[in-house]
Structure formats: C-alpha cells, structure tokens
Amino acid sequence: MKLTGNTIFITGGTSGIGRGLAEALHKLGNQIIISGRRRALLDEVISLNPGMAAIELDINSPASIAQAAETLIRDYPATNVLLNNAGIMPFDDASTTIDDASAVAVITTNLLGSIRMTSALIEHLKTKEEATVLYTTSVLAFVPISTNAVYSATKAALHSFALSQRFQLRHTNVRVQEIAPPWVDTDLIHKGGDPRAMPLDTFIEQTISALGSDDPEVFVEAIRPLRDNPGVNEHGLVNAFNQSIADNPIPTGN
Ligand SMILES: NC(=O)c1ccc[n+]([C@@H]2O[C@H](COP(=O)([O-])OP(=O)(O)OC[C@H]3O[C@@H](n4cnc5c(N)ncnc54)[C@H](OP(=O)(O)O)[C@@H]3O)[C@@H](O)[C@H]2O)c1
C-alpha cells in the first residue's frame, strides 16, 4: 500500500503493535483513527500524537462494531485503510478439556472480530480510489504453538480468510495485505524482554518498510523459514519448534 496520504482505522490501537504502527503511520502523514476498549489509553495515545483520533470499540460486540463503523464513516469519510489488529492470546492445553469461555473469546476477538469489522467497512472501502484491508495474523498461522492451540488456529483461519477475500476483491480497488509478525515483545503475553522476542521498535521499522510494497504478505525476514514450512513435511519442523518451547517455556507473567 502507499504509505502516506491515507485515512487509516486501526483496531487494537491502544498498545503494542497497533499503537506502534499507528504512531509510525501518523508520522508518515496519514490520518490515523485508533480504537480499543481502554478509553484512558485511547486518550493518552491521541494526546501524545496531535491530529490522531480515537473511537471506542469492543470488537467482541457486533453492536459496538456497527456503532464504530457508523461514527468512522460519518466523521472520517476519507477512510481508505482498515487495519484489523485487535487480538488476545490466552494459553490453553489441547490435550485436555478446553475452557469454553476462553476458546469463544479468542475466536470471537481474533477471527470473528476481524471478519465483522471488515464486513462493516468493505462497501465503504470500495467507494475509495485506492483502499486496503490489512490483517495482523502471526507466524503462528503457519507453525502453530501448541501452548496456544486455539489462538494459532484463529490466525491460520484469518490467513485463509484473507486469501479468499483477496481473490474475491481482485477486480476492485481494494487490496488485501496480511502482516504476519514474529514473537514481538508486547503485552500480548507478558512483556519481559525475552531474547526470543523481537523488540517492538525493530518490528515496526521493518514492517513499515515492507508494507510499502504490493506484497500480499508482510513479514520480517527472520521468520521466512517458518513461513515457508507448511506442506506435507511440516510435522518435523512444527514438532521441533514446539519441543523448543516445551524445553524453554514462554513466561506467562503469572
Ligand atoms: N506480540 C506478538 O508476539 C504477536 C505476534 C504475532 C501476532 N500478534 C498479533 O498482533 C496483534 C496485536 O497484539 P500486540 O502484540 O500488540 O498485543 P497487545 O499490546 O496486547 O495489544 C492488543 C490490542 O488488541 C486490543 N483488543 C483486545 N481485545 C479487544 C476487544 N475485545 N475489543 C477491542 N480491542 C481489543 C487491545 O485494546 P484494548 O484492550 O484497549 O481493547 C490492544 O490494543 C494481535 O492480533 C496479535 O495476535 C502479536
């Protein structure tokens, strides 16, 4: 996508990757509208970035999505980019009974939330000369982490949805791009400077430079072997990856 002159609505803009991309794209000369549930954080981010705007949104609520879309289109009719970024990452254990509330929450937030938000804005985006729908998926869409099985499944599903949507929109002015981050040091799990996690600043810098392309997928080079892995021989790498996590578990902060 072009990196300047857009009006960009970002879900999950109160922290981490969404806030980082919001601030970087704001500096590049885009009108940014962030969203999230935490009003105090929305206010903090927009006061630190004059010109940025915010809309409260609970992506788990279809009514909140409809309200946010209506406000966005009314107040920012130039909106031509949607970044579906809000997400949660609860731990689970697929070897035993999965907590139903947790599974429903992660599927509703990560998968349904992105589908619903896009559905609410897609006809508006089609009216723009150039428009883009972005999805923050994950390297875990391609190599699942077994300690977060439902989360990994939502990201694989979102990748699949983006593939279908990209094809369906091929004759329109709406492009679909996927951002597949590696492990980035944010509050998603437990921000703690783990050396396996990429610092947020480095991730944002590399992602912004890759986002300026027409590539359907944007990912940092470090994850290319994992991105290239799916195929009939994927099991060896998936098992080795998960064994490395079992040997050196991700601190949950609890
Ligand atoms: N960090 C990583 O290692 C990593 C790797 C791959 C992919 N990702 C993906 O990157 C995205 C951002 O994660 P992050 O690492 O930046 O984590 P984060 O700092 O925890 O940010 C998550 C964001 O999602 C928003 N959110 C969560 N539930 C929501 C809800 N019900 N309604 C509206 N907003 C909601 C939060 O806002 P409020 O709480 O204010 O609502 C927050 O802004 C997620 O989709 C995540 O899966 C992260």
Ligand 1 atom 23, closest CA:
12
Looking at residue 75, what is its pLDDT? 98
Does the Cβ of 186 fall within 6 Å of ligand 1? yes
Question: If you measure from the C-alpha of residue 188 to the centroid of ligand 1, how many angstroms do you get, rounded to a whole number?
Answer: 6
Q: What is the pLDDT of residues 96-135, one digit of tens each?
A: 999 999 999 999 999 999 999 999 999 999 999 999 999 9
Question: In this model, does residue 253 exceed pLDDT 80?
Answer: no
Looking at residue 230, what is its pLDDT? 84
Instruction: Work out the mean pLDDT of the chain and round it to a whole number.
Output: 96
Looking at residue 96, what is its pLDDT? 98
Question: In this model, does residue 193 exceed pLDDT 90?
Answer: no
Residue range 76-90: mean pLDDT, rounded: 98
CA distance 12 to 6: 18
pTM across the whole model: 0.97
7-247 maps to CATH 3.40.50.720? yes
9, 135, 142, 151: the active-site residue: 151
Ligand 1 atom with least separation from CA of 184: 3
CA distance 114 to 55: 16
State the maximum Cα–Cα separation within the chain, in Å, rounded to a whole number.
52
Cβ atoms within 10 Å of 134's Cβ, excluding its own: 23
Domain residue extents for the chain: 7-247
Looking at residue 98, what is its pLDDT? 97
Question: In this model, does residue 72 exceed pLDDT 90?
Answer: yes
Compute the CA torsion angle 166, 102, 60, 36 (nearest 10 deg). Answer: -90
Closest CA to 156 of 121, 182, 132, 180: 180
Does the Cβ of 181 fall within 6 Å of ligand 1? yes
Question: In this model, does residue 77 exceed pLDDT 80?
Answer: yes
Looking at residue 200, what is its pLDDT? 97
Rounded to 5 degrees, φ, ψ at 64 are -65, -40
Residue range 144-154: mean pLDDT, rounded: 98
Question: In this model, does residue 237 exceed pLDDT 90?
Answer: yes
The two beta strands, 7-11 and 53-56, are: unpaired
